[in-house]
């Protein structure tokens, strides 16, 4: 029997499951067809679909930067080199 039960496989549920899974047995439930919640890839037909939520994240804290670095190493995340344009100001970033 699992020691922890997590409801929801979005970023929050997946993150806590990943951390707990290092020491405990975990079972994760989601009411949706697939994992990811608002960061998931929405399938339309077969492999065709689109990212309908989170497209990018901007880590600010040291801990979150380290966490994302590890995910980049594991090829789960990719660095996005696209241009960011802020529509409500003159700020422009690469
Ligand atoms: C259009 C859009 C664009 C976005 N773009 C960005 C972006 O570019 N960058 C960014 O940082 N953030 C973005 N966000 C915000 C980001 O997607 C969310 O803040 C984040 O995904 C929330 O994660 P979460 O795990 O807290 O919740 P969710 O992703 O909502 O996960 C909750 C999960 O719980 C499941 N669930 C709920 N109730 C039950 C139940 N009773 N039983 C079982 N399962 C249940 C749901 O199915 C879902 O999978 C965007 C959001 C939207 C909608």
Q: Which residues pair with 84 in a beta bridge?
A: 93
Whether the predicted pLDDT of 94 surpasses 60: no
Q: Domain tally for the chain?
A: 2
- Measured from the Cα of 38, ligand 1's closest atom is 29
Our answer on whether the CB atom of 32 is closer than 6 Å to any ligand 1 atom is yes
Indicate the top mutation candidate among 10, 13, 32 to test ligand 1's pocket, ranked by most ligand atoms within 8 A of CB.
10
38 vs 42, residue with greater confidence: 38
- Domain span at 90: 57-94
Output the pLDDT for position 92. 60
Same domain (yes/no): 44, 89: no
Output the pLDDT for position 86. 75
Structure tokens at 11: 């970023």
Same domain (yes/no): 79, 43: no
Same domain (yes/no): 16, 36: yes
Task: Report the predicted TM-score, pTM, of the whole model to 2 decimal places.
Answer: 0.83
Ligand 1: distance of its center to the CA of 14 in Å? 11
Burial class (CB in 10 A: 0-12, 13-18, 19+), 46: exposed
Output the pLDDT for position 90. 64
Same domain (yes/no): 65, 90: yes
Tens digits of residue pLDDT in 48-82 = 888 888 888 899 999 999 989 999 999 989 998 87
Query: Which residues, other chains included, contact 61 with Cβ-Cβ below 8 Å and sequence gap of 6+?
Result: none
Output the pLDDT for position 91. 62
């Amino acid at each position: 029997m699992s020691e922890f039960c997590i409801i929801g496989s979005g970023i929050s549920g997946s993150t806590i499951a990943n951390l707990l899974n290092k020491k405990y047995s975990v079972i994760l439930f989601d009411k949706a067809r697939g994992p990811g919640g608002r960061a998931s890839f929405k399938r339309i037909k077969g492999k065709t679909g689109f990212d309908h939520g989170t497209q990018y994240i901007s880590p600010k804290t040291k801990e979150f930067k380290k966490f994302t670095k590890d995910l980049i190493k594991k090829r789960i995340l990719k660095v996005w080199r696209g241009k960011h344009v802020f529509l409500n100001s003159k700020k422009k970033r690469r």
